[in-house]
Amino acid sequence: MKMFYPFFLLFILFSGCGLKNINTPVATAQQQEKSAIADEQSGDDTELDDFDEFRDELEAEPLYDPLSGYNRIMTEFNDMFYIYLLTPVAKGYKTVLHVEIRKSVANFFHNLYYPIRLVNNLLQGEFKDASEETGRFLINTTIGVAGLFDPAQSEFGLKAHEEDFGQTLGFYGVGSGVHIVLPILGPSNLRDAISLIPDAYLSPIDYTSRDHFTLTDTKKEYAAVKSYEYINEFSLDIQMYEKIKKDAVDLYPYLRDIYEQRREKQIKE
Amino acid sequence: MKYIARFFLLVWSLFIFTQSVMANEQLDLKNHLLTKIDEVILIVQDKSLSKSKRNSDIIHTLQSIFDFEIMAKLSLGKNTWNELGKDEQKRFTELYVKRMEKSYSSKLDAYTDEKVEIKEILQPKENRIYFVTDLVNGGEKLEVTYKFYKPKETPSSKHHWLIYDVEILGVSILKADSAQFKDFLKTKTIAQLMDALDK
């Protein structure tokens, strides 16, 4: 029995080697519960097939998609719009302006939308992220010349925390609702589409009359600025849409699923 | 009292042992994944290779670590899969694999000098290991998660842990494919789906 302790010590020592650099396995109560249910349900079958093995990971709730007819048509319209109008325009624009300038334009707009990110971070109780956003805004507006550059990220290591009202609602448990494809803007859902309104109120680019200062006053100005922002953004990665589209067998459900999965992930973050 | 202490030590050491077995498995797999990534990067950087040779070399490297067959099966769903005859199942799998390879190759064409950094290793179940990685390009990061499972039996040409799904920015390609196949088959036939995959 005397040997027990040295043996034990040795054992622990070597166990430690294996644990180096590794995060401890995460098994959330929920996952354990799920697999327990799955095991219970398939308990009778001695031979489990691959589908049973992955059941709790892949089984999606049946999607309620009453607008699929409209959505399909709008997806077609957007597809034509991106390929025959937006892509050639963005390509022309790209040849005229150097990529660094286009990045600066994108930075400028991103900096303008700071109020949206601030308010939604605060609403979700992300106070650290909200203060980081504020730090970014102050640095980029001053040292970064009105937001054209992003020294907050490159020099101070302050990361942006993208939050919008759709994510805030999702954070408080509001479901996505019916999937809606918006003209030009693309895939969305009831929750996120309605959320565009409160976010627009916080945006300095808007056309409705506000008590506070906005960069645009009329609908025409608004449309011009927004279109420019959109073309500039698209020009930074013209191929992206076509790259995604290449993997689609059926474009509408493919984009719908990618959008919903992406939003779910953003809400969790 | 002494016996109780000894008993607890034994229980504890057993606990540590199981933990370390899991961790060793993760470490093995991590090294394997990093080797495969390095192999792919070496092939990509070899400018003497023609594009088609390069892509076929990469696919060959990936085939030992990806389980494309199970991806094909799972993306189609249990009911549809079981309705197919053996030949149709085989044809669907072949088409699916070919499409994945094509998609992967076209993405590699855009590859410049990105680096892969593993940020987190998760093991939600005994036979699942997820590697959360960042594809770093300059200042930009793209989160890619490789999901491995341990099949009951694997052919000798393959590793005993295989990738069954990849998530890009939280979007699972398996789920996205599953969604589009399901919707497609609501109005069209499996033959039409195979034709679409073949394009």
Calculated CA dihedral for residues B56, B58, B61, B63, nearest 10 degrees: -70
Residue A145 has a pLDDT of 92
Pick from A114-123, A168-177, B4-13: least confident: B4-13
A197 touches chain B (CB under 8 A): no
Whether A71 contacts A65, CB under 8 Å: yes
Hunting for tokens 């499972």 — which residue is that? Answer: B149
Q: Tell me whether residues A250 and B122 touch, CB distance under 8 A.
A: no
| Mean pLDDT on A129-138 | 95
Query: What pLDDT band is residue A66 in, cutting at 50, 70 and 90?
Result: very high
Higher pLDDT, A110 or B45: A110
Query: What pLDDT band is residue B61 in, cutting at 50, 70 and 90?
Result: confident
Q: How many CB atoms lie within 10 A of CB B183?
A: 21
Q: Tell me whether residues B21 and A18 touch, CB distance under 8 A.
A: yes
Q: Which of A156, A130, A129, A159 is nearest to A143 (CA)?
A: A156
Measured in degrees and rounded to the nearest 5, phi and psi for residue A2 equal -60, -30
Q: Which of B24, B27, B171 sits opposite A258 (nearest CB)?
A: B171
Highest mean pLDDT pick, A7-16, A239-248, B43-52: A239-248
| Averaged pLDDT score across all residues of chain B | 85
A253, closest residue in chain B (CA to CA): B180
Higher pLDDT, A28 or A59: A59
| Mean pLDDT on B105-117 | 74
pLDDT at A231 over 70: yes
| Mean pLDDT on B131-153 | 86
Residue A59 has a pLDDT of 66
| Mean pLDDT on A20-29 | 42
**Model pTM score:** 0.81
Residue A60 has a pLDDT of 63
Whether B147 contacts B130, CB under 8 Å: yes
A239, closest residue in chain B (CA to CA): B110
pLDDT at A30 over 70: no
Residue A24 has a pLDDT of 41
pLDDT at A192 over 80: yes
| Averaged pLDDT score across all residues of chain A | 83
pLDDT at A38 over 60: no
| Mean pLDDT on A127-147 | 94
How is residue A172 written in tokens? 């408080």
**What DSSP letter does each residue of A112-155 carry, written as one string?**
HTHHHHHHHHHHTT-HHHHHHHHHHHHHHHHTTTTTTS-HHHHT
Q: What is the pLDDT of residues A142-169, one digit of tens each?
A: 999 999 999 998 899 898 999 999 999 9
Contacts with A, B 92-111, CB within 8 Å: 99, 103, 106-107, 110
Q: Which of B120, B178, B181 sits opposite A58 (nearest CB)?
A: B178
Q: How many CB atoms lie within 10 A of CB B138?
A: 8
Pick from A26-40, B65-79, B169-183: least confident: A26-40
Q: Which of B13, B106, B176 sits opposite A246 (nearest CB)?
A: B106
Residue A5 has a pLDDT of 55
| Mean pLDDT on A203-209 | 82
Q: Which of A48, A95, A246 is nearest to B176 (CA)?
A: A246
Query: What pLDDT band is residue A79 in, cutting at 50, 70 and 90?
Result: very high
> Residue B163 is which amino acid?
I
Residue A12 has a pLDDT of 46
Query: Helix (H, G, I), strand (E, B), or coil: what is residue A188?
Result: strand
A185 CA to centre of own chain: 14
Q: What percent of chain A has pLDDT over 70?
A: 81
Mutation target to probe the B interface, by most B beta carbons within 10 A, among A21, A45, A47, A58 is A58
Half-sphere exposure in the Cβ direction for A37 (13 Å, CA): 9
Total domains in the fold of chain B = 1
Q: Which helix (H) or strand (E) segment is B186 a member of?
A: helix B173-187
Beta bridge pairs of residue A188: A180
A268 CA to centre of own chain: 10
CATH number for the domain including B36? 3.10.450.710
Higher pLDDT, A101 or B41: A101
Query: What pLDDT band is residue A183 in, cutting at 50, 70 and 90?
Result: very high
Residue B112 has a pLDDT of 66
Residue B111 has a pLDDT of 65
Contacts with B, A 59-88, CB within 8 Å: 60, 63
Domain segments of chain A: what residues? 22-59, 68-268
Pick from A10-24, A46-60, A97-111, B103-117: least confident: A10-24
Higher pLDDT, A27 or B95: B95
Residues with Cβ within 8 Å of residue A69, at least 6 apart in sequence: none
Domain around B7: 2-198
Residue A169 has a pLDDT of 96
B198 touches chain A (CB under 8 A): no
pLDDT at B29 over 90: no
pLDDT at B21 over 90: no
pLDDT at A6 over 70: no
